[in-house]
């Protein structure tokens, strides 16, 4: 999404969170949709009726009802498969962004069980490229690329295979917020009401968490990373900072003044690293181990780290992955993992 792809990580124990149970139950109660009787060119698979008609940045996309009643979905966007699973739809192929690997069926361990006995094709993230012939071979009725680079040429090629849904007009690359993400995918699947129920449930969980931690309100915060020889800070519009903001934190003022790259991320040069010195920080490495992040002399120089007000996450750990996945299914386990650590950091503040 905003950094070089990472090597596949080993299998991990699935997160178990009470707040997730309700979502999983809802997803399993909905009728699971998968199949292989797709369309070929242009996605003309149905018998004339429309399953949905949705508005995207590339115009209106009509999605025909599949002739056999089974909707064959390929999920290419960041966490698109998780949103579909939450709605009871099992994609036949999943682009493995983070990556979660075949052992997790290309989604977070909090979502893997929703595939049941079905196993999708896990498409490896190779420099964020797409193999159009492979995608065509799945004979999809619908392609989801809602949280993506928003490339128009890519859209044109994909839409020649099947109706393809991108983010709404005005959305920055990879910055589709989780509410819009869930609602748009739900609408595309003909399940708008179920999507609204999921959004309401997760919003309630966030509101509850903020109410449980009034000490968060108004404290300046950053979410940042180290990658390559540089650092970076996430801005409003990125799901990681947005979640902190919804919990009551405010963007650290020096970060707000940084020039954005892609609309939701600001590069931070080594000589600027002090801009990460907020009252509270959530930091994680990309391409480095957690120990390497802790030992980084510039990271160590920050008061927020030295004084114990920083939450340092293992980039390959469940909490960090749930935080980054930013799906309707990953937010509850992200909260369960982050809240105790944030409370500890604030208590030190």
Is residue 142 a contact partner of residue 43, using CB atoms and an 8 Å limit? yes
Render pLDDT for 92-113 as a digit per residue (tens, 0 to 9).
Answer: 999 999 999 999 999 999 999 9
d(CA 242, CA 176): 11
Phi, psi of 81, deg, nearest 5: -65, -35
pTM: 0.85
Render pLDDT for 158-212 as a digit per residue (tens, 0 to 9).
Answer: 999 999 999 999 999 999 999 999 999 999 999 999 999 999 999 999 999 999 9
d(CA 254, CA 250): 12
Q: Cβ neighbours of residue 4 under 8 Å, at least 6 residues apart?
A: 227, 228, 286, 287
Render pLDDT for 232-270 as a digit per residue (tens, 0 to 9).
Answer: 999 998 999 999 999 999 999 999 999 877 668 899 999
d(CA 348, CA 175): 32
Is residue 312 a contact partner of residue 295, using CB atoms and an 8 Å limit? no
349 alpha-carbon distance from chain centroid: 30
d(CA 81, CA 87): 10
- In the chain the domains, ranked by start, together with CATH numbers, are 18-205 (3.40.50.1980), 213-348 (3.40.50.1980)
Nearest Cα to Cα of residue 85 among 327, 278, 347, 341: 327
């Amino acid at each position: 999404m905003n950094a070089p792809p990472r090597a596949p990580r080993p299998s991990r124990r699935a997160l178990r969170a009470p707040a997730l149970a309700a979502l999983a139950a809802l997803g399993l109660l909905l009728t699971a949709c998968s199949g292989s009787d797709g369309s070929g060119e242009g996605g003309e698979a149905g018998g004339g009726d429309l399953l949905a008609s949705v508005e995207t940045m590339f115009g209106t996309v009509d999605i025909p009802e599949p002739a056999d009643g089974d909707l064959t979905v390929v999920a290419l966007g960041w966490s698109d498969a998780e949103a579909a699973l939450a709605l009871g739809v099992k994609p036949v192929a999943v682009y493995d962004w983070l990556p979660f690997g075949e052992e997790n069926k290309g989604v977070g361990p909090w979502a893997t069980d929703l595939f049941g006995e079905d196993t999708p094709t896990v498409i490896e993230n190779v420099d964020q490229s797409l193999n159009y012939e492979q995608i065509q071979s799945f004979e999809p009725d619908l392609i989801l690329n809602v949280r993506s680079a928003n490339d128009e040429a890519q859209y044109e090629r994909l839409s020649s295979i099947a109706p393809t849904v991108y983010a709404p007009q005005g959305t920055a690359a990879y910055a589709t917020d989780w509410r819009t993400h869930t609602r748009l995918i739900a609408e595309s699947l003909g399940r708008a009401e179920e999507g609204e129920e999921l959004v309401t449930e997760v919003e309630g969980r966030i509101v509850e968490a903020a109410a449980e931690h009034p000490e968060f309100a108004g404290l300046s915060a950053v979410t940042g990373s180290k990658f390559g020889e540089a650092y970076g800070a996430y801005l409003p519009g990125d799901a990681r900072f947005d979640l902190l903001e919804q919990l009551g934190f405010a963007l650290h003022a020096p970060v707000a003044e940084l020039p954005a790259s892609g609309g939701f991320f600001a590069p931070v040069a080594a000589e600027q690293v002090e801009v990460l010195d907020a009252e509270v920080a959530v930091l994680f490495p990309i391409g480095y181990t957690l120990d390497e992040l802790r030992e980084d002399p510039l990271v160590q120089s920050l008061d927020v780290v030295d004084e114990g007000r920083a939450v340092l996450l293992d980039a390959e750990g469940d909490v960090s992955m749930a935080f980054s996945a930013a799906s309707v299914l990953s937010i509850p386990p992200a909260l369960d993992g982050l809240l105790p650590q944030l409370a500890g950091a604030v208590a030190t503040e």
